[in-house]
Each structure stands twice: as structure tokens, then as C-alpha cells.
Amino acid sequence: MNKENLKAKIQAMPKIELHVHLKGATRPETILKLAKKNNISLPAKNLAEMKEWFKFKNFNHFLDVYMQTAMCFMEPEDIELAAKEFLTEQARQNIVYTELTYTANHLTMSFEDQLAALNSAKSWGESHLGVSMNYVIDIPRSMTFGDHQERSQRFAKQAVSGMGKGVVALGLAGDENKYTVEFFSPAFDIAKEAGLPIVPHAGEAAGPQSMLDAIQYCDPPRIGHGVRCVEDKNLMALLKERQIHLEISPTSNICLGIFDTMDNHSFPEISAAGIPFSINSDDPPYFNTTLTDELIMAAERLDWSAEDTEQYMLNTAEATLLPATEKSALIAKIKTSWTT
Ligand code: ADE
Ligand code: ZN
């Protein structure tokens, strides 16, 4: 398919995103607004300074910036505002369904109030914009306060309490090299007992062993990133055999130094190996990207035909954690757009 037609097709088609963080998708303008409203002092005072601040020296520098901006959210109305803006941007790109990662690490708000704020934005998005979302509630590996073991179990219990109210999985994000997956296994057991899937970040800042641990302790249907699986051929065979889906965010991986250039990114090798994957934006304004841009780049690199592009979107719909009837409805919605 010629480049221009492929680009136009991807721009127009209904899309799905499986790996994007609400705090990481919030516009710098909104972060500045929330910081001012909530009396939070950030190292960046205006958009130009935010742009400088978002030049990440390494992975831990990114996490430090991310944690500081996330702390600008103090009230449920802040979450609702960011979530409405998020859905507005998803609708602009025709991203009809998102599984949104949300870190509920706020001392000023109860989990119930945070979930209610997300769901208020979700209802608004469904009725006003025709787009929807559900949530992955993640355990931040790099919590800045409190007892990690106790808090991780609390996050898991909160995620379980949100089942049936939009929460479709428990996640694990943050500094992959600081705490192992095994450390959090009591929290994962809480999710497993309740039948809540676990979709951890792994194989991003750390290598194959971190993914093997994630498979052992989380039994994940999907892994966030997982792009370093190419360092271990046995792991690649296991991912293929179990059809564990990798949520790949190419530009994030370049900005955070996982690969030095896009030419050296592992996604073509992962695709060729028959491991299921999706393309995602992770924290789009932080990496100056959008899902549409990521998909166009990947489709060009993988030389997708129109049919490949359609099959990709159907595979991504299959990889959602929606209940069967809602998944079928999403697949039908996507297919209809190609025939009408
Ligand atoms: N939180 C937000 N983005 C992240 C990433 N790419 N890795 C780990 N934790 C994150
Ligand atoms: Zn992520």
C-alpha cells in the first residue's frame, strides 16, 4: 500500500489503545494549571520550561519528572478534567476504546472518589464523543512514601473493588530495577484470587529475567513493553507459545534510552516471531507523540497492506480485557467502519 494511502487509512480508522497512562497523557498546559490551582511548586513554570524539563536524561530522570507532575492531582475534579481532556484527544484521533492505566497514589483522595471521577468522565465521553475506556489500576514500583509491601496490597484490593466499575486489570509500573516482580507477589495473589487479570510493565528498563518473573508471578495475558524479550530466544518462544501480548510503545522506548535509534528497535523482530503485540503511546505529551503517529511509523516499517492494518486492529480488539459481549460489539464496530 502506498505511504499516503496507508497514512490516511490509519488516521481515519477506528483505533484501540491498550497502554497509555492518564497522568502521562495529561497536557503540559493542564499540569501547569493544576500546579497553580493546588499550590504545587514545579521546576517548570511555563510551557517553554516544561519542554526543557521533558528532555529526559535517562529512565530514572523520566520517573522523577513523572512523579512530580502526577502529584499535581489533588482533587477528584482534577482527575475528571484530565480524563475528559484525555478522551477528547482520543476522540480526535478516532481511538474508540482505551484501556487506561491509572495510578491511584493520592493521600488527598479516596480510591472510590478517584474511580468515580474517572467514571464521570467516561460517561461523558460515551455520550458526547462516542469513545469509551476502562482502567488498569497499577502498583507503582517506585512509591515515594509508605511501606511498599502494605501499600501494594492496598492497591490490589482497591483494583479488585473496582471490578464491574471499569477496572479490568491490575498493573505494575515504575522502576523495574528497584523492586522485583516477586516482591509484589502477595498483591498479585489478591488479584488472582478475585479473577482480576494482571498486566505488568516488564522487559523495558530491565531484561528478560524481569519478564520471566512477570510470567511466573502474574500469569499475564499482556505485558507492558516487553521489548527486551529479543535478548532471550527461549523467552520469545514462550511468549509465542502462550500468545502473551506485548504492549509496545516505540517512541517511549527511544526517549527513555531502551534503544538508541528506531532502526534498532525490536518490534519488527517481535512481529516476525509471531508474538502478539500492539502499538501504543505510553505517555504521549512526554514523548511528543500520538498513537496515530506511532501506528503510521510502525505500519510503514512493517510494510503493512490495508488487510494487515485491519487484521492488526482486530487482533488488538481481541487483546482487550473486555467481557465477551462487549468485545464482540467493539469488533463489530471496527469491522463496520471498513464496509460502510
Ligand atoms: N509510568 C509511566 N510511564 C512508564 C514507563 N514507560 N515505564 C514505567 N513506568 C511508567
Ligand atoms: Zn507504561
Residue 148's pLDDT is 85
The residues pairing with 169 across neighbouring beta strands, listed in sequence order, are 136
Residue 1's pLDDT is 80
Cα(224) to centroid(ligand 2), Å:
6
In the predicted structure, residue 258 carries a pLDDT above the cut 90: yes
- Over residues 147-161, mean pLDDT: 94
DSSP letter, residue 228: G
Model confidence band, residue 144 (pLDDT cutoffs 50, 70, 90):
low
Characterize 271-282 residue by residue with b for buried, 16 or more Cβ atoms within 10 angstroms of its Cβ, and e for exposed. bebebbbbbbbb
In tens, the pLDDT along 196-252 reads 999 999 999 999 999 999 999 999 999 999 999 999 999 999 999 999 999 999 999
Residue 287's pLDDT is 97
Phi-psi region of 4 (alpha: psi -120 to 50; beta: other; left: phi over 0): alpha
The residues pairing with 134 across neighbouring beta strands, listed in sequence order, are 99
DSSP letter, residue 177: T
C-beta of 200 in contact with ligand 1 (< 6 A): no
Q: Using CA positions, which residue lies closest to atom 8 of ligand 1? A: 174
Query: What is the largest distance, in Å, between two alpha-carbon atoms of the chain?
Result: 54
Task: Please provide the average confidence, as pLDDT, over all residues in the chain.
Answer: 96
Which of 23, 59, 62 best tests ligand 1's pocket when mutated (most atoms within 8 Å of CB)? 62
Q: Give the full edge-to-edge strand order of the sheet including 95-102.
A: 15-21, 95-102, 132-140, 167-173, 198-202, 222-225, 245-248, 277-279
The residues pairing with 132 across neighbouring beta strands, listed in sequence order, are 97
In tens, the pLDDT along 11-50 reads 999 999 999 999 999 999 999 999 999 999 999 999 999 9
Cα(284) to centroid(ligand 2), Å:
10
C-beta of 202 in contact with ligand 1 (< 6 A): no
In tens, the pLDDT along 156-209 reads 999 999 999 999 999 999 999 988 899 999 999 999 999 999 999 999 999 999
Cα(8) to centroid(ligand 1), Å:
30
Residue 337's pLDDT is 85
Locate the ligand 1 atom nearest the alpha carbon of residue 21 and give its number: 2
Model confidence band, residue 145 (pLDDT cutoffs 50, 70, 90):
low
C-beta of 15 in contact with ligand 1 (< 6 A): no
Active site residues: 204
Which of 54, 66, 199 best tests ligand 1's pocket when mutated (most atoms within 8 Å of CB)? 66
Residue 339's pLDDT is 76
The residues pairing with 98 across neighbouring beta strands, listed in sequence order, are 17, 133
Distances (CA, A) of 148 to 105, 112, 142, 173: 12, 21, 9, 13
C-beta of 66 in contact with ligand 1 (< 6 A): yes
Which of 63, 144, 223, 259 best tests ligand 1's pocket when mutated (most atoms within 8 Å of CB)? 63
Sign of CA dihedral 272, 276, 282, 285: positive
Asked whether the whole model's pTM tops 0.85, one would answer yes
Ion ligand 2: residues, CB within 5 A, are 282
In tens, the pLDDT along 40-82 reads 999 999 999 999 999 998 999 999 999 999 999 999 999 999 9
Contact 236, 215 (CB under 8 A): no
CATH architecture of the domain with residue range 3-335? Alpha-Beta Barrel (3.20)
C-beta of 21 in contact with ligand 1 (< 6 A): yes
Cα(338) to centroid(ligand 2), Å:
30
Taking the CA of 62 as reference, the closest ligand is 1
In the predicted structure, residue 122 carries a pLDDT above the cut 90: yes
Taking the CA of 140 as reference, the closest ligand is 1
Cα(142) to centroid(ligand 1), Å:
10
